[in-house]
Amino acid sequence: MRTIEIIVDDFKIGGIQRLALDQAYALNEIGLKATIIVLSSTPNHDVPSFLHAEKDLIKNLKIEIVFFDGSKSQQFKKLTNHVKTSNPELLICHSLRATIFCRLIKSLLRSKCVIVTTVHQLLSMSAPIQRVKRVFYSQFTDVLFAYSVAVKKDWDYRRRHNPFIWLISSRKSMSVCRNGVYLPRINFNKEDSTRETTNIKRLIFVNRLTAWKGLPVALKIIEAKEFSNASLLLITPDDPGAYLTKLKPDVLSRILTVVGKSVSQIEFYSGDVHIYPAAYGPSSRYIESISINVLEMACFGVKSFVTKDGVDTWPELINIGIIYEVSWPDVSSAIRTILQNGLDLEVPEVNKARQLIDVKNNLDKIFDAAGLAKLIPAMG
């Protein structure tokens, strides 16, 4: 059986881990053995992780997940022994540290495997020294991707304005490979989505609790009188209780929190609206407004309202009308946009969005760039 290794730094609940797992699901489904390698220890049961949240699906699809803990040298030794045994055709790296490891291992073992690396963070969100390190590490891959147009634009900007970064990044050019979702785990309820409703019944916030993800904005929206009859569902890896202490009792009573679960474990209904008020700060030139959570909501048939000027990666979803741009600092304008566009999504629109978002498209691009398209005829 042809073997693919997918490497991540940890296995907490996050976008990188979500994509890695969905890639493995799709690859195993078509008969390629995809193993996820995690460069950290196995998470405890009290730590939110997809290992626990999706244990049944992982078991059913026979996904092998191995954890290499210890020091960097110990991790390198374990990864070397693993690659020597598995002899993979492709190493999909969602970690720049893993990229360095894989290049050294490839040379050491004289392997013909292809290393594909995806950069998941804007360079501007790293400190200057870390920024240079990230660019340097990226050059050890065979194929270099950005997960979004914003990441590539920011990368290109830094190259143009920093001669040293330009010099050390001249070996590998970067292109965009959009994220995707493994559709079988997203149950689109066609009957419920077509049921008529005249009100937005529930606002959805799915994300980590870091400041730039926008939870304070979500709380401000649910406090508005226009949503006094709606509830707010917070789906987060960690308990958001500390963020809710200053809310009035009538607002607090309309907030439901779900901690440490995959969205695949939650039911969504007609009248649900997802909000993703990401804000990277005034120093950021570029922003990516469409996270994997936004893509998941689209696959469920739930519209998302996202931060303005960060949708270049997925213009088709804007055209379909399943995603709308919002200027969150203008709260009244944001509320009007949500109220005017939050309902009336048709089944053909959702089906079209699902076809675009299918993780098979992501894998097709990876395998094509790696010169291994012949391995996945069933994906085409």
Per-residue DSSP letters for 237-293? SS--GGGSTTS-HHHHTTEEEEES--GGGS---TTEEEEE-----TT-S------HH
If residue 6 lies in a helix (H) or strand (E), which one and from where to where?
A: strand 3-8
In the structure encoding, which two tokens stand for residue 149, read together? 């147009």
Pair 317, 269 in one domain? yes
Mark whether 265 and 192 lie in a shared domain.
Answer: yes
Strand 3-8 to strand 90-93: parallel, antiparallel, or no bridges (unpaired)? Answer: parallel
Amino acid code (one letter) for 104: L
For residues 302 and 324, state if they share a domain. yes
Are both 229 and 147 inside the same structural domain? no
- My answer on whether 235 and 348 are in the same domain is yes
Phi, psi of 116 (to 5 degrees): -120, 125
Do residue 69 and residue 80 come from a single domain? yes
Same domain, 146 and 216: no
Cα 247 to its chain centre, rounded Å, is 30
Residue 48: the pLDDT is 86
State the sign of the Cα–Cα–Cα–Cα dihedral 107, 114, 63, 46: positive
Pair (134, 24) in one structural domain: yes
In this prediction, residue 327 carries a pLDDT of 94
Domain with 254 in it: what CATH number? 3.40.50.2000
Same domain, yes or no: 251 and 346: yes
Residues 227, 261, single domain; the answer is yes
**In this predicted structure, what is the pLDDT of residue 283?**
66
Question: CA–CA separation, 179 vs 22, rounded Å?
Answer: 10
Cβ neighbourhood burial of 62 (10 Å; 0-12, 13-18, 19+): exposed
Q: Count of domains in the chain? A: 2
Predicted TM-score (pTM) of the model is: 0.95
Listed residue (211, 178, 234, 196) closest to 343, CA to CA: 196
Q: Which domain holds residue 331?
A: 183-356
H helix intervals, the chain: 15-29, 50-53, 55-60, 72-86, 96-109, 128-138, 149-161, 163-168, 190-193, 215-223, 249-252, 292-300, 315-320, 331-341, 347-357, 359-369
Residues 60 and 150 in one domain: yes
Q: Can you give the pLDDT at residue 41?
A: 95
Dist. CA 150–CA 310, nearest whole Å: 7
Looking at residue 91, its pLDDT comes to: 98
What's residue 1's pLDDT? Answer: 64
For the chain, the straight-line distance linking the first and the last C-alpha, in angstroms and rounded, comes to: 19
pLDDT in tens, the chain (380 residues): 679 999 999 999 999 999 999 999 999 999 999 999 999 999 998 888 999 899 999 999 999 999 999 999 999 999 999 999 999 999 999 999 999 999 999 999 999 999 999 999 999 989 999 999 999 999 999 999 999 999 999 999 999 999 999 999 999 999 999 999 999 999 887 665 555 567 899 999 998 887 677 899 999 999 999 999 999 999 998 898 888 988 999 999 999 999 988 899 999 988 999 999 988 776 678 999 999 999 999 999 999 999 999 999 999 999 999 999 999 999 999 999 999 998 878 889 999 999 999 999 999 999 999 999 988 765 54
Q: Are residues 90 and 215 in the same domain?
A: no
If phi > 0 it is left, if psi is from -120 to 50 it is alpha, else beta; for residue 321 that is left
Closest CA to 137 of 171, 186, 111: 171
| CA distances, 149 to each of 146, 155, 215, 311, 373 (Å) | 7, 10, 24, 9, 24
